[in-house]
Amino acid sequence: MRLRALVAIAGGAVLLAVAGCGSDTSAGKGSPFDNHRTSASASPSPAEPSKPAGTWKHQPGQAGKVQQTLTAAGYECSRHGDTSIDLRLCAKGFKQADHDQLGGPQMIGGELRYFSAPDGTVLFARIQALGAYLSGDWDTMQNQLLSAVLPAQDAAVLAADGDTLSWGKYFKDESSSTFGGWLQAAGYDDPSTLSPSGEALPITKEQALSKLTAAKLKCSFRSGSAGDTDKVLSCDDPSFKSGTDDVNASSASLELTDNGAGINNILVQGWQGRFTNDVRAVAHVLPKVTALGDTKSVPGIQEWASKHVDGVPHAAYVGKWLVEVTAYNNESSMTGAEFALNASEEDPMLGFDPSKVGTD
């Protein structure tokens, strides 16, 4: 699924509070591995992570040090709900202080998703922008994320557009919908085995149609974004009113995708209007997702969203869902403003496709 603007990001989980994110073994609400489910849902039983194949250099405890470093820098960190692997995410976002040439101020955000061996050695990671990336602020954030994983020398090499690392390899994301890349440790030769388990909703988009129509949404099936063959269920909420200014009126929408086994992507979007109205549109539609009838994943996503739909980018694993808030505030540009929350199952290899990347 892709957002409707020209610049976008498609996107389960354990929310970590910015404060109190120290130990890898702490438990309870606000702890690093609090899975943020409702009280009616049981926490996943701990499982011993399996050891990936490879001959990498072991750095015990590195995963915790990366999390500690980024938490100290203001990032929120979380852990995927598949307890058979150690997969974490750290992210933050902010609003630039000054207006840019496109009408800003721009929203800057970024995330690091990283996979580690049972001893904590980081083996594979993805760095991704969640907001504007044609900015020196994003360059600074990207270097901060790289430096959390890489030796200082390697981070400096990449910052200077070098391409030879001692730690491993960096692959640029050449897609048009995001910005960043993947890090692969030397000796970890087969990331194709990285495939986090998902938790699709127990309802298809076809079954969801009547439920959302009953919730007063106007829905229809339409083709997905370029390259997708499956249709999506696209719903608009005519009850959302952004004001009397029709020129700057925002649209509030909900889109659902499934792979035949249940809905695995939920996109809530505010677009076409002023940025502040786009944010309001997302907050207006989110409660309507309850109409799907799911009591396992949706409540956790909504609870997290209630604290993070604030106009700046965010991201977290919530249960087994990857939840990303993206923000673009180019109100005077052709793409316009846009604010969206996308919840999806995590991709195998964190979305890495060797045929569509460039090597740095």
Confidence of residue 248 (pLDDT cuts 50, 70, 90): low
Residues 6 or more apart from 239 whose CB is under 8 A from it? 216, 284
Residue 18, pLDDT > 60, answer: no
162: which DSSP letter? Answer: -
User: For the whole model, what pTM was predicted?
Assistant: 0.83
pLDDT value, residue 46: 46
Phi, psi values for residue 131, rounded to 5°? -150, -145
End-to-end Cα distance, the chain: 28
Give me the percent of the chain exceeding a pLDDT of 90: 59
Q: Give the pLDDT confidence of 260-308 residue by residue, as tens digits.
A: 889 999 999 998 778 888 999 999 999 999 999 999 999 999 999 999 9
Mean pLDDT of 101-130: 89
pLDDT of the residue at 124? 98
By DSSP bridging, strand 76-79 and strand 14-15 are antiparallel
Residue 39 scores a pLDDT above 60: no
pLDDT per residue as tens digits for the range 44-53: 444 556 678 7
> What is the average per-residue pLDDT within 328-357?
80
pLDDT at 52: 82
Split at pLDDT 50, 70, 90, the class of 6 is very low
pLDDT, the chain, mean = 82
Q: How confident is the model at residue 333 (pLDDT cuts 50, 70, 90)?
A: very low
pLDDT computed for residue 330 by the predictor = 61
> How far is it, in rounded angstroms, from Cα 45 to Cα 84?
10
> Bigger pLDDT: 358 or 155?
155
Provide the pLDDT confidence category of residue 17 given band limits of 50, 70 and 90: very low
Coil/strand/helix, residue 267: strand
Better-predicted residue by pLDDT, 215 or 272? 215
Q: Say if residue 178's pLDDT is above 60.
A: yes
Measured CA to CA, the distance from residue 112 to residue 79 in angstroms comes to 12
Report whether pLDDT(143) > 50: yes
| pLDDT given for residue 334 in this prediction | 43
pLDDT at 31: 28
CA atoms within 13 A on the CB side of 119: 8
Residue 204 pLDDT level (bands cut at 50, 70, 90)? very high
What is the rounded average pLDDT of the residues 162-166?
89
Give the pair of three-digit tokens for residue 256. 């659902």
Highest-confidence segment of 54-58, 160-164, 259-263, 343-347: 343-347
Q: To 5 degrees, how large is the angle CA 330–CA 334–CA 339?
A: 45
